[in-house]
Amino acid sequence: MKRLLIPTLLLLSLPLAALEIRVQPGEVVYAYEVDPARGLYTVLLQNVAVVQKDGGPVTLDSLEIQVVNGGQVLQTLIVPASDLEKSAQRLSAMEAQGLLKLYDFHFQTSRYLNGLKIASNRTLSPGSALVVFGKPLLLSGLPSDGLAILAHGKDADGRLAEARTTLKVENHRSPNEYVFPLAGTWYVGAGPNFESPHRWAANEEFAFDLAALGGDGLTHKGDGSHLTDYYAYGRDVLAVADGEVVEVGADATEANDRLKQPGESEEDFEKRTYLEQAKLLATSYKAPLGNYVILRHAGGEFSHYAHLKQGSVRVKAGDTIKRGQAIAQLGQTGNTTEPHLHFQLTDGPDPLYSRGVPILFKNAVNTVGFSGSYLQTGWIVTAR
C-alpha cells in the first residue's frame, strides 16, 4: 500500500506561526476629525513591529494596512520591502547611537519590545523585531471593522510566513466638557495635523502649541530677543475643567539667551535647541517640559500644561481646581523655541508615557465663526 503524502505536502505549504504583529499604542487607534462636512478623519499608526518569536529566519516582503468596513476592504496602504529595509536600518542605527533609549517616550520600545533585538534589515532572526513607525491614513467615514495589519514574508525555504492583527478605529468622545486653557484670541501654532510634529508621537499626538499674535501677524514685538517681547508671555493659564492637581514641576528657570538671537541663523538656532533638549533629557525625561501642571479629571483623563513661566505656578499636588481657574502663567521654561503654552489631554498622569487623546474645546471659535470643531494647525481661535 502506498503512503498517503497529502498531509505532509499540506503541512509544508502552511504559513509559519512564528511571526507576530505588535502595535504601540495598541487595540484602539484614535481618529481626528478634519472636515466634519465631508466626514473626513485622519489616523496615524504610531509604532508597528513585526516580531519573529521562534523558528528559522524570515525575510519580510511587505506590510499591509487595510481599512475594513462591513467586511469589505475599502483602502490599503502597502509598505513595500524597500521601505521595510530602510526602516530597519534607521531604527538599528538609532539604537546603536543610544537614541531609542534617550527618546524611549517617543518610540516606546521598552514598553512593547522589551528583551527583543531591533532588526538591522528585513530578515528577522528569532527574538528580533522590525519596527515601522508613523503610517498615516485619511479616512472617509469611520470603518466599522477598523484596521487590519498583515505582514507577509518567507522563510529560508521559500515557505510563506504571515501574521495578522486588527485595531479598532475610535472617534473619541470625552465624558467631560472642556474650555480653552487661555482667555482671548490665540494662534494654533501646532496641532494634531500631519504637518505638526506633535501628531507623530503617541503622548502628544493631539497636543497644541498656543501662541499670541500682534497686529502684524508676528508673535513678538521688536526683534524677539527678550521674553517680554512676546505677546503671550505672562498670560494666565486656565484649567480646562474641574479636577485635582496630581503633579507640579516648578523649579525650571528662564533666560533671554535661549531665544533666537539677532543675527543667528535658523539652522544654528535649531541646532542649539536640539542640543539643549538632549542636555535636558540627560537630567530627566520630564525636564523638557520646564515648569508644568497636571490635572486629573473625571473619566480618567488628564490635562497637561507645560513651559510655564518661572515662579508662576499657583497650585500644588492635591489641590482641587475649578474650571477656568488660573493655575500658572505662560512662559519659556524647558525645551521651547519661544514663549507658548504646550497643552495636551491624555489617558494617564505621565506626560510622556501616557497616550494622547483628542479634545474638543466647547468655547473655542475660529475666525469664520465655527465652534464645536476640532482645532487645526494654523487656526486663529477665540475663547468665548
Nearest partner of 334 among 279, 382, 267, judged by Cα: 279
Report how far residue 290's alpha carbon sits from residue 270's, in angstroms, rounded to the nearest whole number.
18
Grid coordinates given for 133: 513607525
* 249-290 pLDDT, tens digit each: 999 999 999 999 999 999 999 999 999 988 998 899 899 999
Within a 13 Å sphere around the CA of 327, how many CA atoms are in the beta-carbon half? 37
Phi and psi (nearest 5°) for 268?
A: -65, -40
Distances (CA, A) of 365 to 101, 381, 384: 41, 5, 7
Distances (CA, A) of 281 to 47, 199, 237, 244, 256: 22, 20, 25, 27, 21
Neighbouring-strand partners of residue 381: 186, 366
- The residue type of 153 is G
pTM of the model: 0.91
Question: Lowest mean pLDDT: which of 123-127, 243-247, 273-277, 297-301?
Answer: 273-277
Report how far residue 293's alpha carbon sits from residue 171's, in angstroms, rounded to the nearest whole number.
27
Percent of the chain with pLDDT over 90: 89
Q: Which domains does the chain have, with CATH numbers?
A: 15-170 (2.60.40.1470), 184-383 (2.70.70.10)
DSSP 79-112: EEHHHHHHHHHHHHHHHHTTHHHHTHHHH-HHHH
Place of cell 505672562: 234
For residue 139, pLDDT beyond 90:
yes
Question: Which residues, in sequence order, are CB contacts of 111 under 8 Å at separation 6+?
Answer: 24, 353
Nearest partner of 128 among 244, 239, 49, 211, judged by Cα: 49
The pairs formed by 260-265 with CB atoms below 8 angstroms and a separation of 24 or more are 260/224, 260/225, 260/337, 260/338, 261/225, 262/223, 262/225
- pLDDT recorded at residue 18: 79
Nearest partner of 285 among 354, 383, 217, 343, judged by Cα: 354
Q: How far is CA 320 from the centre of its chain?
A: 29
For residue 15, pLDDT beyond 70:
no
Question: Lowest mean pLDDT: which of 49-53, 105-109, 178-182?
Answer: 105-109
- pLDDT recorded at residue 150: 98
3-state helix, strand, coil in the chain (%, to 5): 20, 40, 45
